[in-house]
């Protein structure tokens, strides 16, 4: 019987709230068993870039990572933010290890090809991007990996990679060795039937129901690609995907945490 593994991704809204982040990390540290945390950098990189006179460029909400911005996001994501998170977890008795994709060759990506938009030094995940042996070694040594959104191409180049995508890739790759649950923590209690009603959480969604909810306009905007990616991960071996509020993480082992997406 495979061991259980939680792969939890926290959004920028959690990173940007210092007190909220501490409360989340307390709950994460208390989650027993194998677990991995994945994070981006929130607005800290944008603020640091502005302080240094570097303009943050976005196309449809996606960051353009030129050479100057790559230096910023590496310093913030893989440095300041990652080590702050690890230090907070250590203070709570969780023996965490902060990683980028370059560490232990854990996640190797390819630079996104230029099409209509040149995203710069952005890394795209491939089917064999994740080195499961390396991550397995950390987990079996009693360590909790904390991954930043920085990867590498194997040729000496660091790349900025979407944290949601990293979390899904880890869950898929490790599903051959563990019963993996992928958890996205953000500011809402889950997928809402009525976006204006925080209590209208949809407890469970199956693939067929997702298409119906999308057609009806219940699921729209940024939630659509998130759920597409979630069901793709389930189709590739992930046991379940949960979407819920970071404040409710202690409910993860119960039926009351957010929305569960299942096979």
Q: Which residues pair with 181 in a beta bridge?
A: 6, 240
Mean pLDDT of 193-197: 86
| Contact (Cβ atoms closer than 8 angstroms) between residue 40 and residue 3 | no
The helices-and-strands tally (H runs, E runs) of the chain is 9, 14
- Per-residue confidence at 217, pLDDT binned at 50, 70, 90? confident
1 by DSSP, 3-state: which?
coil
Query: CA-to-CA distance for 184 and 219, rounded, in angstroms?
Result: 16
Angle at alpha carbon of residue 60, lines to 120 and 78, rounded to 5°: 50
Bind-site residues: 41-42, 63, 160
**How many C-beta atoms surround the C-beta of residue 129 within 10 A?**
22
Residue 174, pLDDT above cutoff 90: yes
Given this model, what pLDDT does residue 102 score?
98
Least confident of 1-5, 33-37, 207-211: 207-211
Given this model, what pLDDT does residue 237 score?
94
Given this model, what pLDDT does residue 83 score?
97
Mean pLDDT of 230-254: 90
The Cβ-side half-sphere exposure at 182, using a 13 Å CA radius, reads 30
Mean confidence (pLDDT) of the chain: 92
| Contact (Cβ atoms closer than 8 angstroms) between residue 40 and residue 76 | no
Q: Which residues pair with 39 in a beta bridge?
A: 10
Query: CA-to-CA distance for 172 and 215, rounded, in angstroms?
Result: 27
- Per-residue confidence at 220, pLDDT binned at 50, 70, 90? confident
| Contact (Cβ atoms closer than 8 angstroms) between residue 85 and residue 37 | yes
84 phi/psi in degrees, rounded to 5: -65, -45
Given this model, what pLDDT does residue 62 score?
76
Mean pLDDT of 128-139: 97
The distance of Cα 30 from the centroid of its chain, to the nearest Å, equals: 19
- Per-residue confidence at 262, pLDDT binned at 50, 70, 90? confident
Residue 152, pLDDT above cutoff 80: yes
The reported pTM is 0.94
8 phi/psi in degrees, rounded to 5: -115, 130
pLDDT tens digits, residue range 73-101? Answer: 999 999 999 999 999 999 999 999 999 99
Mean pLDDT of 46-66: 86
Q: Which residues pair with 182 in a beta bridge?
A: 7, 241
Bind-site residues for substrate: 41-42, 63, 160
Least confident of 87-96, 119-128, 190-199: 190-199
Query: CA-to-CA distance for 111 and 194, rounded, in angstroms?
Result: 39
Mean pLDDT of 159-164: 94
Residues 6+ apart with CB under 8 A from 92: 25, 26, 29, 30
Residue 107, pLDDT above cutoff 80: yes
Sequence ranges of the domains in the chain: 3-262
- Tokens 């303009």 locate to 55
Residue 224, pLDDT above cutoff 90: no
Given this model, what pLDDT does residue 188 score?
86
Query: CA-to-CA distance for 123 and 113, rounded, in angstroms?
Result: 9
Residue 166, pLDDT above cutoff 90: yes
Residue 238: exposure state from Cβ atoms within 10 A (0-12, 13-18, ≥19): buried
Q: What percent of the chain has a predicted confidence (pLDDT) above 90?
A: 70
Residue 250, pLDDT above cutoff 90: no
Residue 181, pLDDT above cutoff 80: yes
More confident call, 59 vs 79: 79
Q: Does CATH place domain 3-262 in 3.40.1160.10?
A: yes
């Amino acid at each position: 019987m495979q061991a259980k593994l939680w792969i939890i991704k926290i959004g920028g809204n959690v990173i940007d709230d210092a007190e909220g982040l501490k409360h989340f990390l307390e709950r994460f540290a208390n989650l027993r068993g194998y677990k991995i945390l994945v994070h981006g950098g929130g607005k800290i990189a944008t603020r640091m870039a502005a302080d240094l006179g570097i303009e943050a460029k976005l196309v449809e909400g996606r960051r353009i990572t030129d050479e100057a911005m790559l230096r910023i996001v590496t310093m913030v994501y893989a440095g300041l933010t990652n080590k702050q998170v690890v230090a907070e977890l250590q203070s709570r008795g969780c023996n965490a290890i902060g990683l980028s994709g370059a560490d232990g060759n854990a996640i190797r990506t390819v630079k996104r090809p230029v099409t209509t938009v040149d995203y710069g030094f952005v890394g795209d995940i491939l089917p064999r991007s994740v080195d499961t042996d390396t991550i397995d070694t950390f987990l079996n040594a009693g360590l909790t990996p904390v991954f930043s959104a920085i990867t590498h191409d194997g040729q000496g180049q660091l790349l900025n990679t979407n944290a949601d995508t990293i979390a899904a890739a880890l869950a898929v790759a490790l599903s051959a060795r563990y019963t993996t649950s992928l958890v996205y923590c953000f500011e809402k209690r889950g997928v809402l039937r009525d976006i204006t009603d925080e209590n209208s959480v949809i407890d469970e969604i199956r693939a067929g129901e997702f298409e119906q909810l999308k057609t009806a306009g219940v699921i729209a905007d940024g939630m659509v690609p998130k759920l597409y990616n979630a069901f793709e991960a389930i189709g590739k071996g992930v046991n379940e995907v949960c979407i819920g509020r970071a404040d409710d993480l202690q409910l993860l082992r119960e039926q009351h945490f957010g929305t569960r997406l299942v096979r």
